[in-house]
Every structure is written in C-alpha cells, then in structure tokens.
A = this chain, B = another copy of it.
Amino acid sequence: MIKTAPTKAEMIDLQIDYKSDIPLNRQIYLQIRDMILAGTLPCETQIPATREIARKYEMARMTVNVAYEQLELEGYVVTKPGSGTFVTSELTLLQGGEELAPVELSKWAARIQSPEFASSLDVGRLTAETNNSKVEIDFGFGRSFSHIFPYDVWRKLLARYLSTDDALLSKYGSVGGFGPLREAIASYVGRQRGVNCRPEQVFIISGMQQALDILSRMLINQKDEVLVETPGYVNAARVFRSHGAILRPVPVDENGFQTTRIPSDSDARLIFVTPSNQFPHGGAMPVQRRLELIQWARSRNALIIEDDYDGELRYEGSPISAMQGLDDSGRVIYLGTFSKVLLPALRLGYVILPQQLCEPFLQAKMLMDRGAPTLTQAAIADFITEGHFERHLRNLRKLYAERRGVLVRAIQEHLEGHVTFANHPAGFHVMLYLKNGISEQHVIAEMRKKGVGVYAGRPYHLFDWAPPSLVLGFSDLENEQIEEGIKRLGDVLKQPSASLN
C-alpha cells in the first residue's frame, strides 16, 4: 500500500438543529460518523479542528470537544497532539449490504418452517391469533375469569417484596425455582392432587410449553416414538415432533386414553396423557386404565407425562387424584400450571419429576433459561401457604360449575338433535360434535358474523379422520352471554346451508 500524505478535509457541512432534543454534541458526532462510514470523509483525512467547527456553528468549543472525544473513543478518529484529528486509517467500508444471500437456517428451523410441519399441527398459532380478535361473545378457552381473581390480595403479596429493604429481587434466583414455592407446591399437590413428592422434585417453569420442550430434549432422540391422545393437545404434539419424534396417536373415548388401543408394535419412549380431564374431549381415565398404562410404561422403560392442566376444576365429587400418586417406580412426570386457575399471563407452572430426572432437568434448564421471575414465585408461595389459593379454587369451582350448568342447559335447549357432547362435570370448556356433513368453517364464519367466537375442533384430531366439532370455552363469559351465544349457534345450525362444505 502506498502511503500518501494525509489530506485535509475542506470545512465540513453539518446540519445543526439548535432546537432539537438531540444535544448539539450528539448531532456533530452522528453527522461526522456518518460521513466517515459513507466514505465522504476518507481514511486518514484530517478533519477540521474543534475550534473551527465551534466558530462556524456558533457553539462552545467544549461541545465540539465532547463530540470529538466520543468519535475517538469509538475509533472513528485519532488525535495526534500538535498536528490535529484524523480519520482512522484502514477502515473497512461496508459494501453490498442489501444484496446478500438469505441466511441459512438450521435443519431444525427448516423442519419447523416446512409447510408440512406447519399445516398438520397448526392449531397453536390459530388459537393465539383468534383469541385477540374482537367479538361480542367469545367462547375462547383457556382464559381465567378476571372478575373473580383476588387482585387486592395479590397486590399486597407483591408489595411485600417490592421494597428496598428486600434484596430478593436484586439477585438471580435459583434455576430450579424459589425454595418456598417448591415447598408450598409439594404440600399442595400432596393434599389436593394425591401427588407424592418432595420439594426437590418440584421445578418451576415458565408455563407448560417450556416443560414439554425441556422434557423432549432430555428424553427424545430422532425417530423415537411418542404416544399422544387424539383428539389431543396439539401444542404438545408439535413440540414432540419438532424434536424429531414420530407421533403415534391413540384414540380417546368417554374415559380418555384407551390403553387397549396402544399399537401393539409400539416401542414408545414417552406417553402424553391428560388423565384427569381429557383435552379437549373431556372424560377422566378410570384407575384400571391408569394402572394398565403405568404397567405398560414399566414393561418398556417408557415415561408418562401426566398433564394435569385443569385437574382442580371438578364440579361433582372431589377432584380425581393424579396418576402420579399411583406409581412408585418413577415412570410418571406430573405437569401443573397456574395459567388456568390463577392467571394465564403469570406464565408459571411446575413439573414434578421422578428422582432420577431431577439433575438432568436442572442441567438442561440452566442452559435454556436461568429461572422464573422471583417476585411472582414469592407471591404465589405466600398465596398458597396463607390459604388464598385453595379459597380461590373453591370460588372458581362454584362459579365455573354454575356457568357450565348454564352452558349445558342452553345446549340441551337450543341445540337438541344437532350436536352430541361428553357431559363431564369438569374443566372450563365443552367439546361439541356436529352432525357429519356440517362444515365447521362455515359455522365458525356464520357465528363470527353474529358476533360470536367459536373454535374448530378438527385441528385437535391427529392424523385421524376428524368429525366436525367445536370447542367452547366458558370460563370468561357471563351466564347471559353463554345463553345468548348458544341460542345464536342454534340459529346457525338450523340453517339449511350449514351442511354445505
């Protein structure tokens, strides 16, 4: 490279806005910087002295000095004492920014982006989007009923830890979860859900989805089989598939997962079930099936994920005890969530692991996320141990039982002969099967015109022929809305055009 004597830049033209919110020194810095990056001020050029700039633009020399110091700090210019300020030598000016090739994604990302992956299991996306749209009466599901949540208690519990005297929030929390919350949960699930565990087996997660993702990574190799329910919780199936699992759907009936219909050639490593209240069909697995499934898992060294997303919400008799409590061989992983019975927006749940999975889970979680927010965890711990949680559950059960009753009566009154459904006194939604030949999408669109949001059941049926069906959540609706919404559904189903596909 031939070294030439540095050239001196002519006086540079700056556009100074004296009324701007951007400080003068910042304006100078930004404009000279951009000239250098654009090549307008080439490498090694001497730039005007601060005194000259200050004089020309009528500002304090100090202002210009600050700008020059920043330029020097960031390496745009060098000041040589006695000779002046120069653009750094050998700056690589960037070229061809816009025309570059697209970034290559990993095989994993390419797989989950593929149309095949997206289309077969697309309900997660659909739900997330449509939940936000505005309709007058929305039978969206999975929401909590905001009017009954004890916000005053919650505010007080949060405020306890929101003080400068409390250093809890200024440190990273424990990856596995906040100790007192793990204890409170272990005690609660023992008392209320028949789960048998010690606090060290309880791990706090930012929602079910995260637990499923971590467990998939820990347990699934490419082409491992996973048994899932159909109809079933598609977001779980999506995660398993994203990890390369081969899904084997097992049909459910009025009593949930049918152990007798596990394919005889299956060597599944993992089974995903919702035994307390099958999602989305409804129905609880009787103990006979539970024991058969555990025995099946034992005989094949497989693991069962028990998703107890709404096990607390049973409106006749006591809640059905969790499957986890039946097993003493560490084959059952129990998933619980606060999204359904507290607030979805809390984004907090828990997984209860067999002893031998605790350490691997912690290692995996540490790589993926350094723990859930401490404040929410501390507040929930107090909420449970001080009795607010179980009181809230009693209130919820009472309210939801009533709303469910209204829904069921409205269905019987207005939809008689047009639908069938599993009438289980549990959960916060009802799945309606329509007559064969009815178009789900047509009904949904007609209902939308009438200001009512109802949701397709078809996407929950995995790889099966899917009967037309609707999923109706009632947890965030008033009695009158439920009644009115079902009346309008009756009007739509009675139209002769409903059966057009």
**Chain A residues within 8 Å of B, Cβ to Cβ:** 26, 29, 36-37, 66, 69-70, 73-76, 88, 90-98, 100-109, 112-113, 118, 124-125, 128, 131-132, 142-147, 149, 151, 154-155, 158-159, 162-164, 166-175, 206-207, 209-210, 213, 217-221, 224, 238-239, 242, 255, 269, 284-289, 291-292, 294-295, 298, 301, 303, 316-318, 320-321, 326-331, 339, 343-348, 354, 356-357, 359-360, 363-364, 366-376, 476
Contact = CB atoms under 8 A, between A and B. Distances in A.
B170 A220 contact: no
B175 A94 contact: no
Nearest to A303: B103
A94 B345 contact: no
7 contacts: A75-B286, A91-B291, A132-B171, A144-B170, A151-B163, A158-B158, A210-B368
Nearest to A170: B146
B88 A124 contact: no
B97 A298 contact: yes
A213 B288 contact: no
A92 B167 CA distance: 53
A210 B303 contact: no
Contacts of A93: 291
A164 B476 CA distance: 13
Nearest to A296: B92
Given A172-B344, A347-B372, 19 more contacts: A69-B317, A73-B284, A74-B284, A74-B321, A96-B298, A97-B328, A101-B301, A103-B219, A103-B357, A108-B218, A112-B364, A113-B363, A146-B170, A151-B164, A155-B158, A155-B159, A207-B369, A209-B369, A346-B373
Given A37-B326, A295-B92, A366-B125, A301 B74 contact: no
Contacts of A219: 103, 105-106, 109
